[in-house]
Amino acid sequence: MHDSAPTLLTPKPARGFFWNPYFQILLTVLLTAAAQILLKIGADSSRGDTSVGAWLGFNELRDWWTWAGIIAFCSSLGSWLYALRFLPLGLAFSLTNGVHIFVPVGSWLFLHEHLGPLRIAGITVIILGILLLAQSVAQAEEKV
Amino acid sequence: MSALTWTLVLVSQLALVAGQIYLKRAMSRREHNVPGWQGQMALGIATMTIWFLLWLGAMARVDLSQLMPMEGISPLLIVIGAMLFLRERLDWRGWSGVALTCVGVVLVSLSGHGN
């Protein structure tokens, strides 16, 4: 599976804020968080269903929340593929950890899940991790 | 979580790593006009579809907060996969960032319900 194509920011993205690959990563994160919450609502519709169809995820397709989640996921794939054109996979994927900030916050807002001190501490640690990754990105770009 | 759910989650995570590597290779090849990117893209989409269905099945069985630690290890798996198959490198800040975010995801998931 080795690939000889260089992966570090060799091609230049189009000008403008929207086409910035890091903005596209943020868009990926927001769409993925929305998709996770929508899919959770959809998946809950088959809770208690012990058939093989529910195990493999097919029975959940009867619920329209699942489809809303699928649409959000497909949209996130568009911005993700765009970002992959310009950013190394390991770094880009690590930055998508931001989804673990938005999923608990979104679950608190829309699914009325509790947001306790441990969860807030976790979110803070994730933010610190993303800041370190951002510094790593900044240094990698300086070298290019 | 039962052994079957664990297996389901593990296979889905491996499918995620393979799928992302295929997608990255497809986009890199396309960007550098290397032929054969369509095949890589098809493999990536197929593998991601397997991940998606298995993940949806797992979500129906367990709470999102319980699944999160399993997802917490995926950035680490992806970084290792990218090192092995795409020859990507991270500096110490990058590794520390990946480690911190994984710890953060585990903390978020440990909080479970009612914490």
Residue B63 has pLDDT above 70, yes or no: yes
End-to-end CA distance of chain B: 20
Q: What is the 3-state secondary structure (H, E, C) of A23-37?
A: HHHHHHHHHHHHHHH
Tell me how far the alpha carbon of residue A41 is from its chain's centroid. 18
Q: How confident is the model at residue B1 (pLDDT cuts 50, 70, 90)?
A: low
Q: How confident is the model at residue B60 (pLDDT cuts 50, 70, 90)?
A: confident
Q: How confident is the model at residue A49 (pLDDT cuts 50, 70, 90)?
A: low
| Closest alpha carbon within chain A to B36 | A3
With an 8 Å Cβ cutoff, is A105 touching chain B? no
Q: How confident is the model at residue A96 (pLDDT cuts 50, 70, 90)?
A: confident
Q: Which of residues 19-78 of B touch A (CB under 8 A)?
A: 20-21, 23-25, 27-32, 34, 52-57, 59-61, 64-65, 68, 71-72, 74-75, 78
Q: Which residues of A7-27 are buried (b: 16+ CB within 10 A; e: fewer)?
A: bebeeebeeeeeeebbbbbbb
Instruction: Give start and end residues of each alpha helix (H) in chain A.
Output: 21-44, 52-55, 64-86, 89-95, 99-110, 117-143
Q: What's the pLDDT at B58?
A: 83
ipTM: 0.83
Q: How confident is the model at residue A104 (pLDDT cuts 50, 70, 90)?
A: confident
Residue A1 has pLDDT above 60, yes or no: no
Q: What's the pLDDT at B114?
A: 46
Q: What's the pLDDT at A6?
A: 47
Chain B hits for A90, CB-CB cut-off 8 Å, are: 78-79, 82-83, 86, 88, 90, 94, 98
Q: How far apart are alpha carbons B41 and A60 in whole angstroms?
A: 26
Q: How confident is the model over A11-24, as a mean pLDDT?
A: 82
Distances (CA, A) of A116 to A86, A95, A113, B67: 37, 24, 10, 18
With an 8 Å Cβ cutoff, is B101 touching chain A? yes
